Structure 1
Amino acid sequence: MREYSTALSVTVPATGNLTDDVVTNGRDHADAVVFSRPVEGTWHDVTAAQFLAEVRDVAKGLVAAGIEAGDRVALLSRTRYEWTLLDYAIWFAGAVTVPIYETSSAEQVAWILADSGARGVVVETPDHGSRVTQVRDRLPDLHHVWSLEGRAVQVLTTLGRDVDDATLEARRAGTGPGDLATLIYTSGTTGRPKGCRLTHGNFMFELTVAVDELDELFGRARGATAAGGEDAEGEAPSTLLFLPLAHVFARIIQVGCVKARVRLGHSADIRHLVEDLGEFQPTFVLAVPRVFEKVFNTASQRAVADGRGAIFGRAADVAIAWSRSRDAGRVPLRLRAQHRVFDALVYGRLRDALGGRCRYAVSGGAPLGERLGHFYRGIGITVLEGYGLTETTAALTANLPDAQKVGTVGRPLQGTSVRVADDGELLFRGGQVFAGYWQADEATAEVIDDRGWFHTGDLGEIDDEGFVRITGRKKEIIVTAGGKNVAPTVLEDLLRAHPLVDQCLVVGDGQPFIAALVTLDPESLSAWATQHSKPDDLATLLHDDDLRAEVQQGVDQANLAVSKAESIRAFTLLDTAWTEEGGQLTPSLKLKRSVVMREHRDDVDAIYHR
């Protein structure tokens, strides 16, 4: 049984809670710009003192409304400034935040509100409110529904005017590291979501370590002027959040930015993301691997459509080769020259798409893939891939600016230990591991053993330097009729890298060979059809030999990573899309295998009975 631990070299607070950062910032760095928020098309700065005042005002309203210490208050909204404001206001009131994805159905909303026993919920839009209204008769604990578009912030501020500062401070200071900060319901690829009990101490451990280790991203705020000015290199750190704050990945970045006084912005509409990035100009961003795949594939397809496909392809190869050579310790002179040329012709444009100042990106949620990791580093954006779960308050491991191995998810963070069990499952122990599932002791006992090791359900390896590599999901292992164990995610991640592929599902459990169901990316498919003078009609293209040959190239490339017995021998192109709205993807864009298999059972059967 292999094990690796990283020593804790920073001091994690043993008292206090997450609101202490807001109080300290507002008191000691009052003029520091900690947020920028869009108001009528223009970004307006919010100082630490202003944020503290707004949080206090809203928290007083919650207290006046009867929200008690330990009560659960839900947030059902897109990613926006008010989400963060309310999150901290709930904590100031001594209460517990329950995030709900804004795409959740009425039934999903009902389950989370009922299971958590939420006393109040803040929704964003009338549509969100109607989902709560539909199920209100099943929610006896729910006393309040506020709406952001119904001026919830102003309503709560007015309501709390008679609550004095001392009363609020007593409520705020009464929360300690062991108290519950949030219940985050796992989106779940199967079954009903379970509420993960994350304490203030879990967050404090995670962020104390992460902010220290990711000093290149967060630390420069400590060198900025009191007014949030520029550091010695002319760049004050900043990031623009566009992932759902209901997800622990975005949430931990939010809390980290508040802690380190990194200027934070929110982008609620993916349709305006490129424009928002251009205006906000973040120094780092965070995204799930599918976002990085889409950026690469879209750039590739646009280059092909503009007649620059060969140039882009060569530029991508050079970026990857340059990054690999750096790992080897020497970049050949000719490669350096080619890299400089393509930096001027191609790479600069790609960096501009992220605002022009971005030098780092943080990736989590699923494996990124070695090729994409090298590509992005080669164009000047280092993607720091990490690994964690909702149950572990986000990151357990991370690649760091000065300790990176592309293709891995990095070493364990300080104070964290990892172990590979006899069956290949990754086990972790550390201060960020959750307190257990809400009202589900049996489920908790299934994942945390009597020695405190958290069983992730993921399979992986640890190399001699402590870098962790994810190889698959324990419950998703496919066993073929010949007895071969196959980890489908390896093939799926590689096949999704092909520009024409949107999603794919590898199948073959109990079958004589491995196969795949493939859905196509509409934008890339349309561009390909135009380029090849084909009808832009999905139903017709599904049977086009040239299209199948293109996808086969992606299959062949993916198969290079596995043995012949594990390789994809057949695939079917589908005339559908797998989406979060359709129920096939989780909000973090993970595939719900059981749903897809149920919906496409006939397609799978057809592969093996041709």
Structure 2
Amino acid sequence: MGARRLRAREDRSRLRPRLRVERRAGRRLSAPAFGGRQRGTLPKLEHVLGFEELPELAAEGRAFADRSPGALEETSSDLEEDDLYTIIYTSGTTGPPKGCMLSHRNYFVMASVGDLMEERYIEDGDVMLLYLPLAHNFGRLMLLTGAHTGFTIAFLADPLRVPEALLQVRPTVLPSVPRVYEKIHAAVTARFEEATGLRRKIVDWALSRGGEASRLRENGNALPGRLALELRLADRLVFRKVHERLGGRLRIAISGGAPLARDVMEFFDAIGLRIVEGYGLTECTTACTFNNRARYRFGSVGPALPGFEVALAEDGELLVRSETVFQGYFKDPEATAAVLTADGWLRTGDVGEIDADGLVTITDRKKDIIVTAGGKNVAPQNIENELKTSRYISQALVVGDRRRYVAALLTLDPDEISRFAAEHGIEGGVADMSRDPQVNELVAGIVEGVNRDRSRFEQVKRFSILPRDFTIEAGEVTQTLKLRRRAITEHFAAEIEELYV
């Protein structure tokens, strides 16, 4: 019928300006989150469909199929590989969201990449727990890969219910953004640290054996016989209990959408669950590099996928070329020209490195790099990720562009800081704890630990503990839990200024 999918994340405060753009897209819009209430605000659209109208639409569809049994086949035969398949909006972490136009070819090639890999990660008998929003490219790719490969998908609407769903679904595959792995890591390490006496000695011994095995595997070395036996015992005594909390069958954990701290990856690998990290962006239909068992290195995002080329521009920006590179931004030729070169390379906007083995490491978003008043370049995400490895820190935002030094806004993990408060006789909620001297001393120690191995210009000189976490509702994080830096710096402008008084 000539329709095109136009996907936007379900964030009402940010969807309105997108709808103004979408009014030019055509005459039909499916807006189930808004329904008929939007009719008066979208005068150019002939049809606005809400959930309440879906039964009527289904009835019309069945009637049309009876009248025109060959319509679907006729319409399908008219499709070309380079016809527009969908428009997916970027998350808007570095500016206004832009509509990425993706073709049928883009998505077919992306979903078929697994067929070309030396090792197939997901098989038709797998069960995937999918909580990622389908308006996000990562989630959409998993959905289409499921249809292509034939594995089972269990959908979850609320990412906060992942721990509960892991026990119910018992997935073998979990695609996720780093925040979920960070939360699991914080919870597990907190329980380990609570152990005392003989139990604590067993935990520490098991982690040391798992860590040694992980380092040997990363370097491509076989495990000595004694270490292999010790590892089996460590699994029986300690690690297996962690795996059971993840459902007991999880074998492939995929991380994407943002960088995952190396400490978190090393921890999971030590307990027998390797998190494979990939890298990509909506403009190249999700992924372009991916770690695999044969070629991986903690801290990297792996080598280029089959059929992809990666290179570095003179300023260190990562470039990508493949059949998955998008057609351009919807009705924004100027922005399209800024990211696509004449010879087909996509400028990713990320600064990175490519080592001699072809493994890619992402330093930071080009737009996010902090340049201090002294002219020093600082990559904030690396510092933020290290700060978040503490079980007491929920979120971290590093600031300091054109300032004398680097500072940070920090939020507290409510569960972990409440345990700390109970142990130290601190009363009140998280907002009260953020002002408590003992909590401040605790956080100061965390910051000092992160600063220890950093150059002076990279060190966090001052920090502010905020009374609340960053939220989706306030527009401070995306549906996939990435920070919206501009919104956060606007909302907490006063706190930032206090850091430089």
In structure 2, which of residues 312, 315, 325 is the aligned counterpart of residue 423 of structure 1? 315
Matches within 5 A, 1:160-559: 160-213=64-117, 215-218=119-122, 220-221=123-124, 236-270=125-159, 272-304=161-193, 315-316=206-207, 318-328=209-219, 329-331=221-223, 336=228, 338-559=230-451
Q: Take 1:523 and 1:310, find their aligned partners in 2: how far apart are those partners?
A: 25
Q: Distance in 1 between matches of 2:270 and 2:102?
A: 37
Pair 1:107 & 2:19 matched: no
CA 517–273 in structure 1, closer or farther in 2 if over 3 Å, else same: closer
d(CA) in 2 for partners of 1:281, 1:491: 34
Identify the range of structure 1 (342-351 vs 171-180) with the bigger mean alpha-carbon deviation: 342-351
Measured in 1, the distance between the counterparts of 2:160 and 2:345 equals: 42
User: Cα distance, 1:330 vs. partner?
Assistant: 4.8
Matching residue's letter, 1:107: R
Q: Is the CA contact 1:216–1:401 (under 8 Å) kept in the aligned structure 2? A: no
Shift of 1:303: 4.6
1:129 lines up with 2:34 in the alignment: yes
1:163 Cα shift?
4.2
Tell me which moved more, 99-108 or 493-502. 99-108
CA distance in 2 between partners of 1:157 and 1:532 (Å)? 64
Q: Secondary structure at the match of 1:217?
A: coil
Q: What code does the residue aligned with 1:252 have? A: L
Kept in 2: contact 1:211–1:256 (CA 8 A): no
Displacement of 1:266: 1.1
**Distance across 2 between alignment mates of 1:334 and 1:152:** 67
**C-alpha RMSD of the superposition:** 2.5
**Alpha-carbon deviation of 1:146?**
3.5
Worse-matched range after superposition: 268-277 or 285-294? 268-277
Q: Deviations over 1:415-452 (max 9, x none)?
A: 21111111111111111110101111111001111222
Answer yes or no: is the 8 Å Cα contact 2:434–2:466 preserved in 1. yes
Shift of 1:374: 1.7
3-state DSSP of counterpart to 1:590 = coil
Separation in structure 2 between the aligned mates of residue 531 and residue 476 of structure 1, nearest angstrom: 38
Cα distance in 2 between the residues matched to 1:251 and 1:433: 16
| TM-superposition CA deviations, 1:520-572 (whole Å, max 9, x none) | 11122112222333224334322334323332343234334532221112211
How far apart in 1 are the matches of 2:202 and 2:53? 48
The answer to whether the 8 A contact 2:218-2:296 is kept is no
Flag structure 1 segments of 5+ consecutive residues without an equivalent: 1-67, 72-95, 222-235
Number of equivalenced pairs: 497
- Cα offset for 1:292? 0.5
CA distance, structure 1, for counterparts of residue 442 and residue 225 of structure 2: 34
Cα shift at 1:97: 1.5
Within 2, Cα distance between the matches of 1:104 and 1:393?
Answer: 24
How high is the TM-score relative to the length of structure 1?
0.76
Structure 2 CA distance for aligned equivalents of residues 239 and 214 of structure 1 = 21
Native 8 Å contact 1:119 1:142 kept in 2: yes
Match of 2:293, SS state, is coil
Q: How many angstroms apart in 1 are the aligned matches of 2:27 and 2:254?
A: 32
Determine if contact 2:277/2:302 at 8 Å carries over to the other structure: yes
**1:597 maps to which of 481, 489, 492:** 489
DSSP 3-state at the match of 2:121: helix
CA displacement at 1:473 relative to structure 2: 1.2
Contact 2:38/2:48 (8 A) holds in 1 = no
* TM-score, normalised with respect to structure 2: 0.92
Gaps of 5+ in 2: none
Distance 2:466 2:482 in 1: 18
- Is the 1:112–1:185 Cα contact (8 Å) retained in structure 2? no
